[in-house]
Amino acid sequence: MNLAVVAEGVTRRFGRRWALRGVDLAVPRGAVVALLGANGTGKTTLLRVVSTLLRPTAGRVQVLGHALPAGEDEIRARAAFMTAGGHAYEELTGVENLRFAARMSGKTASDDDLRGALAAVDLGGAADVPVRAWSTGMRQRLELARLRLRPLELVLLDEPFVSLDEDGVGLVHEAVRGWREAGAAVVIASHRVDDATRHADEVVRLVGGRVAAGTA
């Protein structure tokens, strides 16, 4: 099987607290995996490890063919991590935030491309409004627009449905379908079981930093 993510015995400790205790995870390319669990069970920590943001205390992680920490730069070019709080600059408009993201990703995006990405998540009317005037849901949609700027092979979504209205949730589902059809692997960490599992090929439940028996 062609796997986008392979994690074996991944452990991560913050001071004296263990966030992950020997987690095993396999995410095939073109598959959607729902990562479920209560608060503090290690979902976000696991996504941060896979995204290359965080190094595990112990264990092995292979992402898109690279055994971490090798190939981090290559992974970042082919993968994306949508964090729960988003990543937007208050004083910049929607278009300017996307232009910054495109430039940082080494992509050249025209004004039309950027406005098109915003229109695709129903933010076309707010494209030239500074983000400080936006609602939390609009910021979450901006994150979705940011992910549309480049082709991806691995998409990590941390609580992607939070703060979104019904249409916004629909946009996330539509994006997940699109990524899967394009052959990308998608991992969704969420408390919203129905939404997280709607397209899931596999469900993994974390309990106390471990994968619960029978869910992987």
Which residues of this chain interact with another protein, rule CB under 8 A?
48, 51-55, 73-74, 76-77, 80-81, 83, 85-92, 96, 100-101, 103-106, 130
User: For residues 3 and 29, is the Cβ–Cβ distance under 8 A?
Assistant: yes
Residue number with CB closer to another protein (77 or 216): 77
Cβ atoms of 184 and 153 within 8 Å: the answer is yes
- Which residue lies nearer to another protein by CB, 132 or 167? 132
Residue among 28 and 71 whose Cβ is closer to another protein: 71
What value, to the nearest 5°, has the Cα angle with vertex 153 and ends 21 and 156?
Answer: 40
Phi/psi for 93 (5° steps) reads: -80, 175
Residue 131 has, within 13 A of its CA and on its CB side, a CA count of 22
**64 or 216, CB closer to another protein?**
64
Contact 50, 63 (CB under 8 A): yes
Q: Shortest CA distance to 22 belongs to which of 30, 14, 13, 31?
A: 13
CB of 50 to another protein, least distance (A): 12
In angstroms, what is the minimal distance from the CB of 81 to another protein?
Answer: 6
Q: Which is nearer to another protein, 158 or 205 (CB)?
A: 158
Which CB atom, from 127 or from 200, has the smaller least distance to another protein? 127
CB 140 within 8 A of CB 168: yes
Helix extents (H) in the chain: 43-50, 72-78, 94-104, 111-120, 136-147, 166-181, 193-197
Please, what is the minimum distance in Å from the beta carbon of residue 87 to another protein?
A: 4
Shortest spacing between CB 37 and another protein, in angstroms: 21
Q: How far is the CB of 3 from another protein (least distance, A)?
A: 21
Distance between CA atoms of 114 and 99, rounded to whole angstroms?
Answer: 7
Residue 197 CB, nearest approach to another protein (Å): 26
